[in-house]
C-alpha cells in the first residue's frame, strides 16, 4: 500500500508532500438530494435496481439465442468457439445472480451528479482514517465499477488488511459516460479529454482540493488526459495500461503515411 501511494503521488506530475495537503472541504455526509433534482451540481443518492419483469425478459431473450453452425477447426483460428460461447451464455442466462450483484453495489454509497448534461454514476467511499488521499478510479472497456469493488476495502481501510492508516484513500470509482448506470451522451464530443475535465469537476463538487487518479484500459487513457490537462487539484496518476508510440511512427500515423518497413506482424496490428 505504501508503495502504491508513493507511485500515485509521484507519477508523471510533481506534487507537494502529502503531509502538507490542506484539509478538504468535505462534509460528513453527501447532500441528501432527490434523484429527480434539477440542480445540475447536486449530488443525488442512487440505488441500483431492475424489476423482476426486466430480468425475466433478459433471460428470455438470452434463451432464444439463435446459434450458428460450429467452427470447422478445433482451435480458435476462426474466432470464438461455439461451445465456449454457448457455455458463457448459459451462465449469464441461468446461473448468474444479478440480485446478489445488485446487493453488492447497494451495500456501498452510490451517487449520481449531472455534468455537462450527462448523469455520472459513482461510488464514494470515504476512509475513516484522517488524512486519507482522495483517489478517483476509472474502469475500462468492456468493464464497469464491478471490477474495482475488490480494492475498496484495502484502499479505504488498509489497517484491516495488514497495512497502515497513512496509506488510506478516499475512493471514487465511477462509470464512464455510456457505461453502467451513467447516462448516455447525446453528442459525439464526450472524448477522453472531455471525460478528464468531467472528472476534475466531479472531484471539485465532492469538495476535494487535491487528489490523484487511477485507470486501466480506457481509464488509463482518461487518466493520461487528466495529467496532460494539469488541473490544479491533480497531484499524480497511476495507470495499468501505459502506452507510447515512437515519434517516427506517430508522425506517419498523423500524416496517414504507410507504416515504416521492418515492423513485425504484431507491431503492425498494434
Contact between residue 60 and residue 52 where contact means Cβ atoms under 8 Å apart = no
| Residue 104 maps to a domain | no
| Residue 201 maps to a domain | yes
Q: What pLDDT, on the 0 to 100 scale, is given for residue 1?
A: 47
Q: Which among 199, 210, 195, 196 has a CA at the least distance from the CA of 134?
A: 210
| Residue 59 maps to a domain | no
Least confident of 74-78, 206-210, 229-233: 74-78
Q: Which among 207, 212, 206 has a CA at the least distance from the CA of 231?
A: 212
Structural domain harbouring 166: 2-14+30-48+110-269
Radius of gyration of the chain (CA): 22
pLDDT single digits (tens) 209-242? 999 999 999 999 999 999 999 999 999 999 998 8
| Residue 205 maps to a domain | yes
Q: The cell 475498496 sits on which residue?
A: 152
Contact between residue 123 and residue 174 where contact means Cβ atoms under 8 Å apart = yes
* pLDDT above 70: residue 15: no
- pLDDT confidence of 263, banded at 50, 70, 90? confident
| Residue 78 maps to a domain | no
Q: Which among 259, 215, 261 has a CA at the least distance from the CA of 239?
A: 215
Pairing of strands 234-239, 169-174: unpaired
| Residue 75 maps to a domain | no
Q: What pLDDT, on the 0 to 100 scale, is given for residue 270?
A: 64
* CA-CA-CA-CA dihedral for 194, 238, 153, 23, to nearest 10: -80
* Number of residues written out for the chain: 270
- Categorise residue 257: left if φ over 0, alpha if ψ from -120 to 50, beta otherwise: beta
pLDDT single digits (tens) 130-185? 899 999 999 999 899 999 999 999 999 999 999 999 999 999 999 999 999 999 99
Contact between residue 152 and residue 125 where contact means Cβ atoms under 8 Å apart = yes
| Residue 53 maps to a domain | no
* pLDDT above 90: residue 16: no
Least confident of 118-122, 159-163, 201-205, 257-261: 257-261
Whichever domain contains 259, its CATH number is 3.40.50.1820
- Cα-based distances in Å from 231 to 20, 22, 198, 228, 236: 18, 17, 11, 9, 10
Q: What percent of the chain has pLDDT over 90?
A: 71
Q: Which residue has the higher pLDDT, 55 or 269?
A: 55
3-state secondary structure of 100: helix
pLDDT single digits (tens) 24-61? 222 223 333 334 444 579 999 999 999 999 999 999 99
Give the total number of structural domains in the chain: 1
| Residue 235 maps to a domain | yes
Amino acid at each position: 500500500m505504501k508503495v502504491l501511494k508513493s507511485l500515485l503521488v509521484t507519477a508523471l506530475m510533481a506534487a507537494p508532500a502529502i503531509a502538507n495537503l490542506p484539509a478538504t472541504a468535505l462534509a460528513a455526509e453527501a447532500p441528501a438530494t432527490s434523484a429527480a433534482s434539477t440542480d445540475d451540481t447536486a449530488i443525488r443518492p442512487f440505488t441500483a435496481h431492475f424489476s423482476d419483469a426486466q430480468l425475466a425478459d433478459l433471460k428470455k431473450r438470452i434463451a432464444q439465442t439463435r446459434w450458428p453452425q460450429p467452427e470447422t477447426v478445433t482451435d480458435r483460428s476462426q474466432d470464438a468457439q461455439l461451445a465456449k460461447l454457448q457455455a458463457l451464455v448459459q451462465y449469464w442466462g441461468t446461473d448468474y445472480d444479478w440480485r446478489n450483484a445488485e446487493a453488492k453495489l447497494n451495500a456501498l454509497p452510490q451517487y449520481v451528479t449531472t455534468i455537462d448534461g450527462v448523469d455520472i454514476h459513482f461510488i464514494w467511499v470515504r476512509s475513516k482514517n484522517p488524512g486519507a488521499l482522495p483517489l478517483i478510479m476509472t474502469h475500462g472497456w468492456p468493464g464497469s465499477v464491478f471490477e474495482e469493488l475488490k480494492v475498496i476495502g484495502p484502499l479505504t481501510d488498509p489497517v484491516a488488511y495488514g497495512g497502515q492508516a497513512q496509506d488510506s484513500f478516499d475512493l471514487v470509482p465511477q462509470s464512464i459516460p455510456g457505461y453502467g448506470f451513467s447516462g448516455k451522451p447525446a453528442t459525439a464530443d464526450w472524448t477522453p479529454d472531455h471525460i478528464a475535465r468531467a472528472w476534475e469537476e466531479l472531484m471539485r463538487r465532492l469538495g476535494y482540493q487535491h487528489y490523484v487518479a487511477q485507470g486501466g484500459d480506457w481509464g488509463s487513457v482518461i487518466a493520461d488526459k487528466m495529467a496532460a490537462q494539469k488541473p490544479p487539484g491533480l497531484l499524480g496518476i497511476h495507470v495499468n495500461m501505459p502506452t507510447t508510440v515512437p515519434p517516427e511512427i506517430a508522425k506517419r500515423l498523423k500524416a496517414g503515411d504507410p507504416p515504416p518497413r521492418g515492423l513485425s506482424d504484431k507491431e503492425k496490428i498494434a
